[in-house]
Amino acid sequence: MSYTDLTFWLFLAAVVAGVALLPPPARRVWLILASLVFYAAPDAMRLVWLAAICGVTLVASAPPQKGPARIRKGCGFAVLVLVLLWARFFELAGLPDPQAPPGLSFLVFTAIALIAGGTRTAGWGQRVGLILHLLWFPKLLAGPIERAGALIPQFPDIAVRPKLASLGLAYLVTGLVKKVVIADTLSPVVAAGFAQPALAAPVDLLLSVYAFAFQIYCDFSGYSDIAIGLSALVGLRLSRNFDRPYLSVTVSEFWSRRWHVTLGTWFRDFVYIPLGGSRAGRARQAMNLMTVFLLSGLWHSGLGYGLGWGFVVWGAMNGAFVVAETFLPVPSRALPKLLRAIVTFHLLLLTWVFFRADGIGAALTLLRRLAQNMGAFPALIPAHPYTADHRLCATLVGALFLAEAAAGRPGIAGRLAAMPLPLRWAGLYAGLGLLLLAGRWQGQEFIYAGF
């Protein structure tokens, strides 16, 4: 069920109406049923995967008196990791295609965090809370990866609350504009360069590289905004996952505090710290940082296409930048903050090329052609035959950048929800108008739902 289909919005109306009409004890079960319908609507076999992950998590989280807790935890982790490896690398291992559903990684990551966090399932109420935490549909496909201590205590207070619902509407509109207006409008510009990097015009290559940085940002953060907004409609608060990432002044800041924060926190808590973090000397810390980014690159690869070496290179490059910043820090006053942000953005652009290109060869071809034409770009850029799509994309990205810079840390949705009522509704109606006039409702699915 897609957020861009009319069917989903009818489904959402039923979900919110059920929360409003049902007594509080029944609301958690209602949201579990709604999550099952949402996830299994395209393919009922997805319920088998959900049942398996929930079963493993419930057993591994059972009270200590029902078995050795450490053994059950270890077995739970092992099963979940093996399931994820099978789903992503079945071809390399010679195993049958498991037909893994979208968002499986985020479901497994959430389950691992639940088991590691010691969430108990001693009674019916605790079991229902754990299952709802796992299956809550807005975050199921691409996060945020919520921790039990933040989300489960909210379940007794599930309700439609006007103030929180108003914030939810602001997040919904913001997220949809990012996805169906900006990200999906950028998609053809991205494809123009990455589809055939050896043949595309040099300016098209340059435009594609810049466009992809904003496409993946608007696509991914748009999903998180929608998830936050949908949850707020029924009284639940999810973690804010993005904080104007392209304003980062270091690659470390980008990954640790601004880009998919809950995923970065998960890798820190369940990979970096268990490996020793920064406690075992500088060489070990550098190795631990590189391991985190290499594993992140491997996580993006697989899915029946073999080992995606481009993703591995992407992870290695980001890891190398973070290690260099950690051990060779540039004094904060050596360069103006704006210049540091520009340098950081362009370092990230280099890594995104390997993420998006169809293999390392295609990425190197694109970068080589950009380097060969670097001196000619001052003449090529003004003479390029720009289309209406190019101008629209530039306008949308520029408007988004200015709006996020002006909104500050609360974000566009937070600022909009805090405005006086007339201005708030004017902003919401402006967003709805933009969705109706410029939205590409038959565009692509969310990029990270495939991971």
pLDDT at position 305: 47
Strands in 30-120 per DSSP E: none
The crossing angle, in degrees rounded to 10, of helices 184-194 and 360-372 is 80
In 3D, which of 449, 450, 403, 438 has the Cα closest to residue 177?
438
**DSSP letter, residue 246:** G
Question: Is the model's pLDDT at 119 over the cut of 70?
Answer: no
- Lowest-confidence pick of 1-10, 27-36, 162-171, 177-186: 1-10
pLDDT at position 331: 67
Question: Is the model's pLDDT at 332 over the cut of 70?
Answer: no
Q: What is the mean pLDDT of residues 43-59?
A: 92
Omega cis (within 30) before 24: no
Q: What is the length of the chain?
A: 451
At 350-372, the pLDDT tens digits run 999 999 999 999 999 999 999 99
At 261-314, the pLDDT tens digits run 999 999 999 999 999 988 878 899 999 999 999 999 988 876 544 567 899 999
* pTM, two decimal places: 0.93
Omega cis (within 30) before 144: yes
pLDDT at position 121: 61
DSSP line for 431-451: HHHHHHHH--TT-PPPGGGG-
pLDDT at position 126: 85
pLDDT at position 120: 63
Q: What is the mean pLDDT of residues 170-197?
A: 94
> Which positions are annotated as active-site residues?
300
Consecutive H or E run containing 289: helix 282-300
**244 φψ region: left (φ > 0), alpha (ψ -120 to 50), beta (else):** left
pLDDT at position 65: 55
Q: What is the mean pLDDT of residues 56-63?
A: 84
Mean pLDDT of the chain: 90
Cβ burial, residue 119 (10 Å; 0-12/13-18/19+): buried
pLDDT at position 117: 78
Q: Residue 166 and residue 419: Cα distance in Å, rounded?
A: 11
> Are 234 and 206 in contact, with CB atoms under 8 Å apart?
no
More confident: 289 or 92? 289
Q: How far apart are the first and last CA of the chain?
A: 17
Residue 236: band (very low, low, confident or very high) from pLDDT cuts 50, 70, 90: very high
CA distances from 28 to 19, 130, 334 (A): 9, 10, 54
